[in-house]
């Protein structure tokens, strides 16, 4: 039968290993969470910057769909070509633009928004 000193050393060793594993898991999980959070902030920032760069063009009276799309693509830091154009909705870079039948801009949205407000 093992003596009390040996049992205490084994128990303390197991507890130390367990707490170190918990801290390592927490640190790893926190690093991943912060990485995803920062990437989300970057995407939202790019979308906002592109939308703000569009304001001078959109504020002009009689701005056409082609002018708005050209301004959106010029403001896109990554120069991503439009990935879809369907039913008046166009994703131009980091922003989704909505046009009516006459080609007027009627809305914009963030393609990375995870939930509806």
> Who contacts 14 (Cβ-Cβ below 8 Å, separation ≥6)?
none
Alpha helix (H) residue ranges in 4-115:
4-59, 65-75
Return left, alpha or beta for 79; rule: phi > 0 is left, psi -120 to 50 is alpha, else beta.
left
83 within some domain = yes
28 within some domain = yes
Lookup result for tokens 């990437």: 39
114 within some domain = no
The tally of domains found in the chain comes to 1
104 within some domain = yes
Q: What is the pTM of this model?
A: 0.65
Own/partner pairs, 73-77, CB within 8 angstroms, 24+ separation? 75/49, 75/50, 76/50, 77/46, 77/49, 77/50
Residuewise pLDDT in 10s, the chain (117 residues): 788 899 999 999 999 999 999 999 999 999 999 999 998 888 888 888 888 888 888 888 888 888 888 888 888 766 666 667 777 788 887 788 888 888 888 888 877 765 554
115 within some domain = no
Q: What is the domain extent for residue 70?
A: 4-109
62 within some domain = yes
Which residue, 101, 99, 113, is CA-closest to 54? 99
């Amino acid at each position: 039968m093992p003596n009390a000193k040996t049992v205490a050393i084994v128990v303390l060793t197991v507890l130390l290993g367990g707490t170190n594993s918990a801290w390592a898991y927490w640190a790893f999980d926190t690093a991943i969470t912060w990485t995803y959070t920062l990437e989300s902030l970057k995407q939202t920032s790019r979308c906002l910057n592109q939308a703000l760069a569009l304001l001078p063009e959109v504020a002009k009276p009689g701005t056409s769909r082609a002018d708005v799309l050209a301004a959106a693509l010029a403001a896109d830091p990554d120069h991503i070509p439009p990935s879809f154009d369907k039913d008046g909705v166009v994703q131009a870079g980091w922003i989704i633009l909505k046009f009516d039948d006459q080609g007027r801009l009627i809305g914009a949205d963030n393609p990375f928004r995870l939930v509806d407000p």
